Amino acid sequence: AQSVTQLGSHVSVSEGALVLLRCNYSSSVPPYLFWYVQYPNQGLQLLLKYTTGATLVKGINGFEAEFKKSETSFHLTKPSAHMSDAAEYFCAVILSGGYNKLIFGAGTRLAVHP
């Protein structure tokens, strides 16, 4: 069965510091991988996705993530945190084919302090 593990339910960084949010997955077949962001009282907004091809993918708001098959990881990074990045971040996977339900990790709440 597929699962997604996000290490660290809460991450706190200073403004301007590196952001690193960790995601590991388990899947018997190569998955499609996604990061979504949820701002307070809003829905889930797609940050970026990995399907095939280049393993380093760039998303919106300066975020990027690298798919590492050997480590079954898809960690999200941003070189310099901004106050507006404070939100909850969800890693999710989809099996290729089928009707493609998303399986989410538990989420990581990112706090950015001055």
- For other proteins, the binding residues (CB under 8 A) are 32, 34, 36, 41-46, 49-52, 90, 92, 94, 96-107
**Tokens 């969800």 -> residue:** 90
Least CB distance from residue 101 to other proteins, whole Å? 4
Least CB distance from residue 32 to other proteins, whole Å? 5
Least CB distance from residue 81 to other proteins, whole Å? 24
Tell me whether residue 8 or residue 79 sits nearer to other proteins (CB atom). 8
Selection from 6, 9, 8 nearest residue 103 by Cα: 6
Tell me whether residue 17 or residue 103 sits nearer to other proteins (CB atom). 103
The neighbour count for residue 108, using CB atoms within 10 Å, is 20
Tell me whether residue 51 or residue 80 sits nearer to other proteins (CB atom). 51
**Tokens 């798919």 -> residue:** 67
**Tokens at residue 76, please?**
């999200």
Contact 94, 87 (CB under 8 A): no
**HSE-up of 18 (CA within 13 Å, CB side)?**
7
Tell me whether residue 32 or residue 86 sits nearer to other proteins (CB atom). 32
Least CB distance from residue 107 to other proteins, whole Å? 6
